Amino acid sequence: MRKTGSKGMELPSLWEKARKLIGPEKGVVHLATAAVLNAVWDLWAKQEGKPLWKLLVDMDPRMLLSCIDFRYITDVLTEEEAYGILQKGQIGKKERERQMLMHGYPAYTTSCAWLGYSDDTLKQLCTEALQDGWTRFKVKVGADLQDDIRRCRLIRNMIGPEKTLMMDANQRWDVPEAIEWMSKLAEFKPLWIEEPTSPDDILGHATISKALVPLGIGVATGEQCHNRVIFKQLLQAKALQFLQIDSCRLGSVNENLSVLLMAKKFEIPVCPHAGGVGLCELVQHLIIFDFISVSASLKNRMCEYVDHLHEHFRYPVTIKKASYMPPKDAGYSTEMKEESVKKHQYPDGEVWKKLLADQNN
């Protein structure tokens, strides 16, 4: 039972207080919610014997909408509007599903051009990626302008003018600095600049977005967005041209569904964040569903791929011809190998024991 104060008023529980202090709908509470609900979706898909993308594609639109919390977003998207989008998405759905099964969803690579890579490493990785059929590349920028100019010129010369180049500043700049910096990098024809400033600065992103339009450079952001409300405001403010959902930052599949539907209403392409560590395994399901049932378009759309730590997962992604091939195993592809879990379990796992021992020496 809940305790009451001296005047008979109910006192909030410790959980409710904690939720308000470290949340609500953001921070550690939201990340924990995502973890639990991602596991629930994994179990649901396994119970149905389908990969998650297929579970969503086959789901009745009303059932799908019952999974979404429309609170705080009805000023831009009502449940009936969302239903209309899903109903329209039924047209040509089977053909788009066959297209995905045959060709997969287009991906881009972030693995070639991290900050700190030597020129030799960068050249080697770009050469290998080109040989593997990659046509979309992302380069990290923001530490040093002259170094960025040199590295971007090197990459652009290697991949040629016809291939797609994106840039990612990982929240490095103030707003005026972002505009000035990108005006110097515009010669390399980037499709977008990702996270040019604080992920919480909606109006700052809008200012940057407006300033870069004449240069033909879009703004991409979203991997650090707390919840659907931030995405709503980014869309309302015309602060981004490319929307980047994250399968573990938002409140699992449920909240991501609401963002996919809002992006469709605003006709903003979704290009998910998937920086390895299992994120690729999860988000592939969401973006494949988006194409088949919501957006029905591949124009200016691609999903990030980083070749990092896939070996720890039972159902790692399959990349063919620089595209995500739809998973066939039932579930959300979240399950890690038992051996990997044991090795990394805190504090008795092999990895942690070594780290703790090294700290004590």
Half-sphere exposure of 208 (CA within 13 A, CB side): 35
CATH number for 179: 3.20.20.120
Four-residue CA torsion sign, 166, 281, 269, 73: negative
- Residues 135-145 as b/e (b if ≥16 CB within 10 A, e otherwise) read bbbbbbbbeee
pLDDT band at 11 (very low <50, low <70, confident <90, very high): low
| Residue 170 clears pLDDT 90, i.e. is over it | yes
Decide: 343 and 349 in contact? Cβ < 8 Å.
yes
Residues 6+ apart with CB under 8 A from 96: 291, 292, 296
351 found inside a domain: no
Cα distance between residue 88 and residue 91, in whole Å: 6
79 found inside a domain: no
2 found inside a domain: no
Four-residue CA torsion sign, 54, 60, 66, 71: positive
Give the pLDDT confidence of 102-149 residue by residue, as tens digits. Answer: 999 999 999 999 999 999 999 999 999 999 999 999 999 999 999 999
Average pLDDT estimate for 35-61: 98
Report the number of distinct structural domains present in the chain.
Answer: 1
What is the reported pTM?
0.93
Beta-bridged to residue 11, according to DSSP, are: none
Cα distance between residue 64 and residue 54, in whole Å: 12
| Burial degree of 46 (CB within 10 A; 0-12, 13-18, 19+) | middle
Half-sphere exposure of 38 (CA within 13 A, CB side): 25
Q: Tell me what pLDDT residue 180 has.
A: 98
Task: For the beta carbon of residue 58, count every other beta carbon within 10 angstroms.
Answer: 14
Beta strands in the chain (DSSP E): 105-113, 136-140, 164-168, 192-194, 218-221, 242-243, 303-305, 319-320, 323-324
Q: Tell me what pLDDT residue 10 has.
A: 56
pLDDT band at 3 (very low <50, low <70, confident <90, very high): very low
130 found inside a domain: yes
Of 25-29, 128-132, 151-155, 235-239, least confident by mean pLDDT is 25-29
pLDDT band at 157 (very low <50, low <70, confident <90, very high): very high
pLDDT band at 22 (very low <50, low <70, confident <90, very high): confident
348 found inside a domain: no
Decide: 77 and 258 in contact? Cβ < 8 Å.
yes
Active site residues: 140, 273
Decide: 123 and 154 in contact? Cβ < 8 Å.
yes
Provide the pairing of β-strand 323-324 with 105-113.
antiparallel
24 found inside a domain: no
The more confidently predicted of residues 29 and 59 is: 59
Concatenate the DSSP letters of all residues of 133-188 into one string.
T--EEEEE--S-HHHHHHHHHHHHHHH-TTSEEEEE-TT---HHHHHHHHHHHGGG
**Which residues constitute the domain of residue 132?**
89-340
Give the pLDDT confidence of 288-303 residue by residue, as tens digits. Answer: 999 999 999 999 999 9
36 found inside a domain: no
Cα distance between residue 4 and residue 297, in whole Å: 55
Average pLDDT estimate for 278-295: 97
**Any idea how long the chain is?**
361
The more confidently predicted of residues 158 and 276 is: 158
320 found inside a domain: yes
| Residue 24 clears pLDDT 90, i.e. is over it | no
Q: Tell me what pLDDT residue 360 has.
A: 86
